[in-house]
Every structure is written in C-alpha cells, then in structure tokens.
C-alpha cells in the first residue's frame, strides 16, 4: 500500500500551512548561489500545491516572504520579488485549469508596485475557483498582523465588551480562512519564525529534515499520515476524546 493510499481522506486537514525553509543551504551544498535554491523551491511549491489539491485539502498557506526577509541583501530581495512576479505570471493559467484560487496575506502594500499589481491581477483572475485556495504569505509576520489588527480595532471604535476571539480573528489578514490543523516546517529548524502565531494555537506541528527544494508529494503525504496518527485533545483528556 502506498503512503498516499494510507491517508484517510475523511480525516484530511482542511488547512495546511508550510514554512518553506532551506533554499539557501540546498544551493550552498551544490556550490551555487542562494537564488538558485529559490528557483528550485518553485518546483517544490508546484508539487506540493498539486498534491494538496489532488487529495482534497481546501487551504494551503505558504510562507514565501517574511517581514524580516526585507533585511536580506538587496540582491536576494530583488531576485525573490522578480521570481515571485514571474512565477505568479506563469502559473495563473495552471491555477485556473485546476480550479485553484490564489489568495495572499501580509502587508501587501509594502511589496514593489509590479509585484503588488501582478498578485492582485492573479487573485482577480482566480477569484471564482473553488477546489482549493493557495494562500501566499508575503511580507507577512504575526507580530505585524496582530498589531495591525489592534490598531484597526481601536480606529473603528470597537468597545471592549465587543472584543472576543471571533471579532479579533476577523481583523487579521487571514479573515475568512480557517485555522490550520497542520503546520509543516522543512530544513530541520524547530522554530515558528513569526508565522500565524494566533492561528496555530491548536495546530499539530510537523518538522522534517528535508530542505524545501527537495520537498515532494511523498513528503506531504508523510506529514499528513503522521498528523492523522496523532490524538488532538484540545485541552481535554484522552478518555473524553474517545467517548465522542
């Protein structure tokens, strides 16, 4: 039985989020520039998106560029932005063919003008697609997102007794997107790196040694299979969960 066949389709995570890490190290191992690693990272993005959609996952969120990534050398930032524009441009047709909607979270207005326009254009063109949403986290960080939500709540004059988890969630850039049940990080680092801190309160965390450019469909199946063999208790006891 293949790993894919072992996955229980009835217990799929509705939302998987991924911290794609290790492009730089992958390239270094091959004696190449970091940019080479990012280019090969696109193949992993394509494979993972295809695998998630084929299984029936409804939301796939990819951490493509963090607020902190702006501090990388200018050459690397510029190359990543160019790659992003090129990839979005190249893949919009394929997204439509596969009924996949493109969404983005983060401080999108801080992106270079052409990148922001390309992104908005692709989101508009794929807006009616219903099979899966591919969510790109761009110029994203949780601390930025949470502060931005607090500022807008105050600006809107919301009274303290109106503020609950639901209202707060609706002010985050992920509004309308369910919290991820599964968060994957590649490259053997055990960190969250300012990603979806509010939304992963009860997510299952999965870490793999694989560097992102080497991540393939089988690696996604492995993560989902591992997730399906865990007991999610949400603060309750094991006995309470089994009684359900």
Active site residues: 21, 69
Q: Are 84 and 138 in contact (CB under 8 A)?
A: yes
Q: Which of 16, 17, 23, 132 binds ligand FPP (CB under 6 A)?
A: 23
Give burial (CB, 10 Å; 0-12/13-18/19+) of 28: middle
Q: What residue has token string 């596969």?
A: 98
**C-alpha to C-alpha distance for 48 and 29, rounded to whole angstroms:** 23
Nearest-CB residue for ligand FPP: 24
Give yes or no for residue 41 binding ligand FPP (CB under 6 A).
yes
What is the per-residue binding string for ligand FPP in 198-217, x denoting contact by CB under 6 A? --------------x-----
Q: Which of 4, 25, 82, 131 binds ligand FPP (CB under 6 A)?
A: 25
**Which span sits near ligand FPP by CB under 6 A: 33-41, 157-165, 175-183, 200-208?**
33-41
Residues constituting the chain: 244
- The minimum distance between CB 24 and ligand FPP, in angstroms, equals 2
Give yes or no for residue 84 binding ligand FPP (CB under 6 A).
yes
**Which span sits near ligand FPP by CB under 6 A: 35-43, 108-116, 201-209, 235-243?**
35-43
Give yes or no for residue 119 binding ligand FPP (CB under 6 A).
no
**Which span sits near ligand FPP by CB under 6 A: 20-28, 116-124, 141-149, 164-172?**
20-28
Give yes or no for residue 16 binding ligand FPP (CB under 6 A).
no
Residue 85's nearest CA partner among 122, 125, 129 is 122
Give yes or no for residue 226 binding ligand FPP (CB under 6 A).
no
> With the C-alpha atoms ordered 229, 98, 116, 151, is the resulting torsion angle positive or negative?
negative
Helix axes 34-55, 74-97, angle to 10 degrees: 30
Structure tokens at 229: 């063999």
Q: Which of 7, 17, 18, 21 binds ligand FPP (CB under 6 A)?
A: 21
Structure tokens at 3: 């790993």
Binding-residue total with ligand FPP (CB under 6 A): 20
Q: Which residues pair with 126 in a beta bridge?
A: none
Long-range contacts of 94-99, Cβ-Cβ distance < 8 Å, separation of 24 or more? 95/122, 95/126, 95/129, 95/134, 96/125, 96/126, 96/129, 98/50, 98/53, 98/131, 99/129, 99/130, 99/131, 99/132
- The minimum distance between CB 49 and ligand FPP, in angstroms, equals 9
Give yes or no for residue 87 binding ligand FPP (CB under 6 A).
yes
Instruction: Tell me which residues touch ligand FPP (CB under 6 A).
Output: 20-25, 34, 38, 41-42, 45, 62, 64, 69, 83-84, 87, 136, 187, 212
């Amino acid at each position: 039985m293949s790993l894919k066949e072992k996955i229980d389709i009835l217990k799929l995570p509705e939302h998987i989020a991924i911290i794609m890490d290790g492009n730089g190290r992958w390239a270094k191992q091959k004696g190449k520039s970091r940019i080479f690693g990012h280019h090969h990272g696109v193949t992993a993005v394509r494979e993972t998106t295809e695998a998630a959609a084929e299984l029936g996952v409804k939301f796939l969120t990819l951490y493509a560029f963090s607020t902190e990534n702006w501090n990388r050398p200018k050459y690397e930032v510029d190359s990543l932005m160019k790659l992003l524009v090129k990839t979005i441009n190249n893949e919009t047709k394929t997204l439509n063919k596969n009924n996949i909607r493109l969404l983005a979270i983060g401080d999108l207005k801080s992106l270079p003008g052409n990148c922001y326009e390309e992104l908005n254009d692709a989101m508009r063109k794929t807006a009616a697609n219903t099979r899966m949403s591919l969510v790109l986290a761009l110029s994203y960080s949780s601390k930025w997102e949470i502060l931005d939500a607090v500022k807008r709540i105050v600006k809107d004059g919301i009274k303290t007794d109106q503020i609950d988890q639901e209202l707060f969630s609706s002010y985050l850039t992920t509004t309308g997107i369910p919290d991820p049940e599964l968060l994957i990080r590649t490259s053997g680092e055990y960190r969250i790196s300012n990603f979806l801190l509010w939304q992963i309160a009860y997510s299952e965390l999965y870490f793999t040694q694989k560097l992102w450019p080497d991540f393939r469909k089988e690696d996604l199946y492995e993560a989902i299979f591992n997730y399906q063999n865990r007991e999610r208790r949400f603060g309750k006891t094991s006995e309470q969960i089994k009684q359900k």
